[in-house]
Structure 1
Amino acid sequence: MDALFLLLPISLLFVLGIGVAFWWAIFAGQFDDTRDAATAILDDDDQAHPGAT
């Protein structure tokens, strides 16, 4: 039972920290443009350039 009194507040602080980090990420614009980074590799020019070794 003593472990419960220690682990419960620690886990609640951990969940609160994750929530704050997620809240910050949303309002800092981290999820505004997720498509361009995913499709950037498809737009890459894969042809060898003249003079390249």
Structure 2
Amino acid sequence: MNMIYFLIGCSILLALIFLAAFFWATKNGQHDDTYTPSVRILFDDEIKVHDKSEKCDEDHI
């Protein structure tokens, strides 16, 4: 029975740590912008510019 009290105490302590981390993240602005990350994946790739010297001849392929 003592082990159950110990585990309940540990779980409450862990829950309080996660709650404190959530409030800390909210205070520091972690959850302010919810729109940009959802569209950032659409524009992730950069446009690649190919030089004419790197272009292979299509006749030899």
- Structure 1, unmatched stretches of 5+, are none
Aligned position for 2:5: 5
Alignment correspondent of 2:43: 43
Taking structure 2 as the reference length, what is the TM-score of the superposition?
Answer: 0.67
Asked which structure has the greater CA Rg, the reply is 2
Structure 2 gap segments, 5+ residues each: 55-61
More relative contact order in 1 or in 2 (CA 8 Å, sep 6+)?
A: 1
Identity %: 35
The CA RMSD over aligned residues, in Å, is: 2.0
Q: Whole-Å Cα distance in 1 between the matches of residues 29 and 44 of structure 2?
A: 25
